[in-house]
Structure 1
Amino acid sequence: MYRLPTTFALAFLLAACGGESAPEPAEETPSEQSAIDTAAAETAAMDSNRQSLPEVPGDGVSTERFARDVRTLASDEFAGRAPGTRGGRMTIDYLVREFSEMGLEPGYGDSYLQPVPMIELTNAERSAIAVDLQGESMTLSYPEQMVINSRRLGTEPHAIEDSEVVFVGYGIVAPEYDWNDYEGLDVEGKTVVILVNDPGFATGDESLFNGRAMTYYGRWTYKYEEAARQGAAAALVVHETEPASYPWEVVINSWSGAEFVLASDESAPRVALEGWLTVDAARDLFSRAGLDYEQQKERAKQPGFEWVSLNARANAKVRNSTRRGTSYNVLAQLPGSERPAEAVIYMAHWDHLGRNLARSGSEGIYNGAVDNASGTAGLLELARLNAAAGPAERTQLFAAVTLEEYGLLGSRQYANDPVYPPGMTAAAINMDAMTVLGPTHDVTVIGYGSSELEEILASAAERQGRHTEREPSPEAGYYYRSDHFNLAKIGIPALYAKGGVDHREKGREYGLEWQAQYRAERYHKTADTYGEDWDLRGVAEDLELLYAVGREVADSDRWPEWYEGNEFKAIREESRK
């Protein structure tokens, strides 16, 4: 799962992360026996209810095939599946072979491969930010107080010179919320200072944006994009740990190495400089400008906020070196029997972070078993099930996308060059880091409250004897950190759901502990390897569930919609015209 751009370069990329083993099963005690008996009864009831789900062909989900695919993709031989490496090429070949053997047709014209042309930008020069506050000088230094980069192309320096600094609150233009932080402001040539996250998180007001749950407008990526659309010269986001959901060290690590852009995005508008300020640096800057940072932040939470000048001028520059390369999305399809021009997309990212050449042998390999060999294996299993079931009314497209770990770039390339137009794509279902801790009562919906796909999911889950729940940390904005997000941005209703944490036999605390341990000890580390003690019963149930959701949409003329107030609803309505 993508959090922030990593520091690892493409295979170009000499990169790193993976390996895992699950915690030892809890030893059974007499006090647990009644809970286990109850769970067994519930499992039997679930089995009897499954006849109500869309019939899964053959013997249903095969955990043996799933485990085989994960073991292969997360093996040392595949060396962490970094795009542009031998392991990346082996992954692509494996996926093409599997899709072909299922009898699925190529999904990109007459090929299974959709090229993803890449440009790597490596910082060769980064100045401090020199600020002139009406004769008083202030210097913001890297990395203690700020980080700046540029995603503009070319080897000439990208700079701001004597650029007026203005505070634009959360830097949001959201017509559906009647919110415009740039109203009445011409930012041409200016440097905008922006708060992280959105006003709903800041106030906790459920009627404002999406309350504590982050919206797309809260993502730093949106803030740079909007600043560029407005014509700003530079955009600086103020980092605070709670609303960002990660510490300053993550910003430093993520912004100190190579950055990647798509060649297809070369003409996209970009500010000259993108960056972050520490909250202490922002407080100092505001204070020198005669403003109180906390008061200004309080103003920014309120509807009708008006921008304010800091009466300051900024100077800074960045110079990059560039090189180009190509990776590939792997696309396969099962054409629809009735409406082949309409599609349902299933997706998972096949890439991970490769290996760290400073560590010898398997110690340096980031196998990425959970993230995301598990999702890729799930994609293959769903493709096999649908191939065995035969064509649905709509086409089903199976997309194994690349470069998720480097900025969701494979899915962005698909969004830029879709096989099926957004307005003719009924839904997308994403699998990223499947839950391998065993069967759960709950199903976690990331981005809960987004679209009508959740109603289909909830109905199918109920027939399994399960229920859906919001993800534990909606304020972290995980919905905007995996590949379905790029499809949502072009209007396609997208579902990101997985097994929950309330283990049917060991309880919620066990599931929460397992999840926390994975995050702390194995996520993006060399410990994320396949474990023979993985409990795949939950994976089987989750894949049956996603099969049911996808098949129901593919075998109907229903067009699931975004819920009212969702930031992608207007885009969908326009595409459906």
Structure 2
Amino acid sequence: MIRPLLLCAASLVLAACSNDNATTATASDGLDIPDVEVAALDQQIMIDMTRTLSSDEFEGRAPGTAGEEKTVAYLIEQFQAAGLEPGNGDSWVQEVPLVEITASNHAPLTIGGGERKLSYDFASDWVGVSYRPDGSTSIADSELVFVGYGINAPERGWNDYEGLDMTGKTAVVLVNDPDYETEGLEGTFGGRAMTYYGRWSYKYEEAARQGAAAVLIVHDTFPAAYGWNVVESSWSTPQIYAQDGENPAPVTSMNGWIQKEVASEIMAAAGQDLETLMTKAKQKGFKPVPLGLTASTSYDNAKRTFSSQNVIAKLTGSSRPDEYVMHTAHWDHLGRCTPNEEGDDICNGAVDNATGTAALVALGKAHAQAGAADRTLVFLAVTAEESGLLGADYYAANPIYPLDKTVGGVNMDAFLMAGPANDVTVVGGGKSELDRFLDKALEAEGRVATAEATPEKGYYYRSDHFAFAKRGVPMFYLDGGEDLVDGGKEAGAAVAADYTDNRYHGPDDEFNEDWDWSGVMKDLALFYRLGRMMAMSTSWPNWVEGDEFKATRDESCAAADTGC
């Protein structure tokens, strides 16, 4: 996934990442942030691997296809040639067992208990999927409860479920988090910047922990960051997820969405006003509202199981080999997709994410040639990112290297061919002490940090690093800069808009022999410097006070005999 970035002319500069604060912040935080030199980075590897991975021969690199078989074999070959070691014992791969569920024969969503029964059509009015491997799903007369934003955040003094037994009930939930409409970044939930509590995935997970039978998220285009068409297309197609291992997390019978107009009608039938409830839900101390209505629907599920693979390599550390620095990128793309005007139906995924996959190998080779760092460097090419970060999430749930011994890491998700930039875009800045490492790296590179222009869209929670972050491991997510050396912000916005409008997730995201790789290599040097800094440091950077992931990291570290 690449974010449709750079389309907003205005941007904020992160005070936490400014060069002026670098020395002071490092000293006050007591972090060991060593100076490192950037080794030679092989541009030809980037070119050759991107060209090969995005060729028609690889058929769009969809998991569970012949394209995957070719991709995995090629990556193993390239990691070996780069001088790296197998990352899973003697093996280069981690098996990722997947389940695909295809729903059909959806009954309408009916709402009972009011003066008249309400009925809503699948796809146009509502969508719903199941992540249980059952032959059918049935929601029968499940009590509806409006639970505001569906958040339980003890560290922020917020619990939308307080005093409520959700067993067997259906939660009606608002998208995003309570202060997304504020202009700045101050607020209980980060102001304008979305926290994980605002993501739809969190809302489903929390409702399941509360014992809910089903969840219906109220779609609203601005706080969701996409229209109903995206919801409809994403939740009305086959759903792929990782097979349950031991001690699986609870899941609801149905996770769904409803149109905002549908939600308004349901609230009116309950004698409530949606806009009034939305306002109340933004206030601390909000209490859940039983609606006195019930929801019912049903549909069939067809299940297919198959296995995909994460590819993993490492460079063993010289003095602290049992401490790890992670590098991630997803190798998969969409496979075959809607044809373009020429009839080409292969989504080649050259930028997204053959470039990031190639970067894993190029970085691995540079580190290997520079010699082992103190800590072990891990290079993880994950599967099924396009299906919901599944490969990364499976690894993080079943880590080869313990997460309490994983210092942190960097994620690389698509390099735009825009030429060199004066800045780098920081997604999720201000969340962890990794910002101090970035301060020093940018100072050495002669660049500055620019905050993401649309923090309310929650892009930090939408790529592979997030699987580690939500389990407590601090991770970088950086994008190419907005302020290009040649043409400034206007040129940067034009490059991003051209890619988003004409190639993103389509058959025209293809390799171009005329690409300018200079900006990519500049970004790659920054990733090298950050990884090497973490690998040579003695520090264990943590999340900042109040961040939603800090308690998880603290708990993990407290239970560890060694490591963080």
Q: Same fold (TM over 0.5)?
A: yes
Give the drift of 1:361: 9.2
- Show CA shifts across 1:433-459 (max 9, x none): 113201001101111211111221121
Residue of structure 1 in register with 2:75 after alignment: 95
Matched, 1:222 2:205: no
Residue 469 of structure 2, aligned match among 488, 508, 532: 488
Kindly tell me: are residues 405 and 369 of structure 1, through their superposed partners in 2, closer, same or farther at Cα, counting changes over 3 Å?
A: same
Residue of structure 1 in register with 2:269 after alignment: 288
Return the letter of the residue paired with 1:424.
K
Given that 2:241 and 2:387 are in contact with CA atoms closer than 8 Å, whether structure 1 keeps it comes out as no
Matched, 1:151 2:115: no
Measured in 2, the distance between the counterparts of 1:246 and 1:171 equals 20
Given that 1:2 and 1:407 are in contact with CA atoms closer than 8 Å, whether structure 2 keeps it comes out as no
Matched, 1:160 2:139: yes
Residue 74 of structure 1, aligned match among 54, 65, 83: 54
Residue of structure 2 in register with 1:17 after alignment: none
Return the letter of the residue paired with 1:385.
A
Give the drift of 1:125: 2.5
Give the drift of 1:294: 0.4
Given that 1:348 and 1:379 are in contact with CA atoms closer than 8 Å, whether structure 2 keeps it comes out as yes
Give the drift of 1:362: 7.6
- Show CA shifts across 1:549-570 (max 9, x none): 1101101211111111111101
Residue of structure 1 in register with 2:36 after alignment: 54
Matched, 1:198 2:177: yes
Given that 1:430 and 1:496 are in contact with CA atoms closer than 8 Å, whether structure 2 keeps it comes out as yes
SS of residue paired to 1:382: helix
Give the drift of 1:475: 1.0
Give the drift of 1:268: 2.7
Return the letter of the residue paired with 1:520.
D
- Show CA shifts across 1:251-310 (max 9, x none): 111111100121135833111111001000011111111111100000000000001111
After TM superposition, the structure 1 = structure 2 runs for residues 319-338 of structure 1, keeping only pairs within 5 Å, are 319-338=300-319
Give the drift of 1:487: 0.5
Residue of structure 1 in register with 2:494 after alignment: 513
Residue 242 of structure 1, aligned match among 195, 212, 222: 222
Residue 161 of structure 2, aligned match among 182, 197, 217: 182
Residue of structure 1 in register with 2:452 after alignment: 471
SS of residue paired to 1:264: coil
Given that 1:150 and 1:318 are in contact with CA atoms closer than 8 Å, whether structure 2 keeps it comes out as no
Matched, 1:344 2:320: no
Measured in 2, the distance between the counterparts of 1:305 and 1:285 equals 20
Return the letter of the residue paired with 1:435.
L
Measured in 2, the distance between the counterparts of 1:363 and 1:282 equals 40
The Cα RMSD (Å) is: 1.7
Given that 2:337 and 2:507 are in contact with CA atoms closer than 8 Å, whether structure 1 keeps it comes out as no
SS of residue paired to 2:189: coil
Gaps of 5+ in 1: 4-51
Given that 1:158 and 1:272 are in contact with CA atoms closer than 8 Å, whether structure 2 keeps it comes out as yes
Give the drift of 1:53: 6.1
Give the drift of 1:2: 7.3
Measured in 1, the distance between the counterparts of 2:189 and 2:531 equals 29
Give the drift of 1:337: 1.0
Measured in 2, the distance between the counterparts of 1:288 and 1:477 equals 33
Residue 317 of structure 1, aligned match among 298, 304, 308: 298
Residue 255 of structure 1, aligned match among 210, 213, 235: 235
Return the letter of the residue paired with 1:306.
K
Return the letter of the residue paired with 2:37.
E
Measured in 1, the distance between the counterparts of 2:330 and 2:413 equals 7
Residue of structure 2 in register with 1:399 after alignment: 380
SS of residue paired to 1:235: strand
Given that 1:149 and 1:318 are in contact with CA atoms closer than 8 Å, whether structure 2 keeps it comes out as no
Give the drift of 1:357: 8.3
Measured in 2, the distance between the counterparts of 1:103 and 1:64 equals 16
Given that 1:168 and 1:306 are in contact with CA atoms closer than 8 Å, whether structure 2 keeps it comes out as yes
Give the drift of 1:204: 4.6
Measured in 1, the distance between the counterparts of 2:227 and 2:115 equals 33
Runs of at least 4 residues of structure 1 off by over 4 A? 357-362
Matched, 1:410 2:391: yes
Measured in 1, the distance between the counterparts of 2:179 and 2:89 equals 44
Give the drift of 1:64: 2.2
- Show CA shifts across 1:184-203 (max 9, x none): 11111111100000012044
Q: TM-score, normalised by structure 2?
A: 0.91
SS of residue paired to 1:136: coil
Residue of structure 2 in register with 1:20 after alignment: none
Q: Identity of counterpart residues, as a percentage? A: 49
Measured in 1, the distance between the counterparts of 2:203 and 2:373 equals 40
Given that 1:2 and 1:406 are in contact with CA atoms closer than 8 Å, whether structure 2 keeps it comes out as no
Matched, 1:104 2:81: no
Measured in 1, the distance between the counterparts of 2:340 and 2:452 equals 36
Kindly tell me: are residues 61 and 103 of structure 1, through their superposed partners in 2, closer, same or farther at Cα, counting changes over 3 Å?
A: closer
SS of residue paired to 1:428: strand
SS of residue paired to 2:117: strand
Measured in 1, the distance between the counterparts of 2:343 and 2:297 equals 42
Given that 2:427 and 2:478 are in contact with CA atoms closer than 8 Å, whether structure 1 keeps it comes out as yes
Give the drift of 1:386: 0.7
Give the drift of 1:223: 0.3
Measured in 1, the distance between the counterparts of 2:299 and 2:210 equals 21
Deviates more, 1:241-250 or 1:463-472: 463-472
Matched, 1:558 2:539: yes
Return the letter of the residue paired with 2:351.
V
Return the letter of the residue paired with 2:545.
E
After TM superposition, the structure 1 = structure 2 runs for residues 100-139 of structure 1, keeping only pairs within 5 Å, are 100-139=80-119
Measured in 2, the distance between the counterparts of 1:495 and 1:125 equals 43
Given that 1:169 and 1:297 are in contact with CA atoms closer than 8 Å, whether structure 2 keeps it comes out as yes
SS of residue paired to 1:109: coil
Measured in 2, the distance between the counterparts of 1:496 and 1:2 equals 11
Gaps of 5+ in 2: 4-33, 559-564
SS of residue paired to 1:456: helix
Measured in 2, the distance between the counterparts of 1:548 and 1:504 equals 21
Kindly tell me: are residues 439 and 359 of structure 1, through their superposed partners in 2, closer, same or farther at Cα, counting changes over 3 Å?
A: closer
Measured in 2, the distance between the counterparts of 1:300 and 1:347 equals 37
- Show CA shifts across 1:191-235 (max 9, x none): 110000001204456222111111100000110100000001110
Give the drift of 1:360: 11
Give the drift of 1:379: 1.1
SS of residue paired to 2:323: strand
Kindly tell me: are residues 316 and 204 of structure 1, through their superposed partners in 2, closer, same or farther at Cα, counting changes over 3 Å?
A: farther
Deviates more, 1:196-205 or 1:170-179: 196-205
Measured in 1, the distance between the counterparts of 2:102 and 2:518 equals 44
Residue 300 of structure 1, aligned match among 258, 264, 281: 281
Residue 436 of structure 1, aligned match among 417, 424, 428: 417
Give the drift of 1:355: 1.6
Measured in 2, the distance between the counterparts of 1:423 and 1:124 equals 42
Measured in 1, the distance between the counterparts of 2:155 and 2:249 equals 24
Q: TM-score, normalised by structure 1?
A: 0.89
May I ask how many residue pairs the two structures share in their alignment? 526
Kindly tell me: are residues 327 and 361 of structure 1, through their superposed partners in 2, closer, same or farther at Cα, counting changes over 3 Å?
A: farther
Measured in 1, the distance between the counterparts of 2:314 and 2:456 equals 35
Kindly tell me: are residues 481 and 149 of structure 1, through their superposed partners in 2, closer, same or farther at Cα, counting changes over 3 Å?
A: same
Give the drift of 1:365: 1.1
Measured in 2, the distance between the counterparts of 1:279 and 1:357 equals 29
Residue of structure 2 in register with 1:25 after alignment: none
- Show CA shifts across 1:13-48 (max 9, x none): xxxxxxxxxxxxxxxxxxxxxxxxxxxxxxxxxxxx
SS of residue paired to 1:201: coil
- Show CA shifts across 1:457-495 (max 9, x none): 121112211001111211111111100000111110010
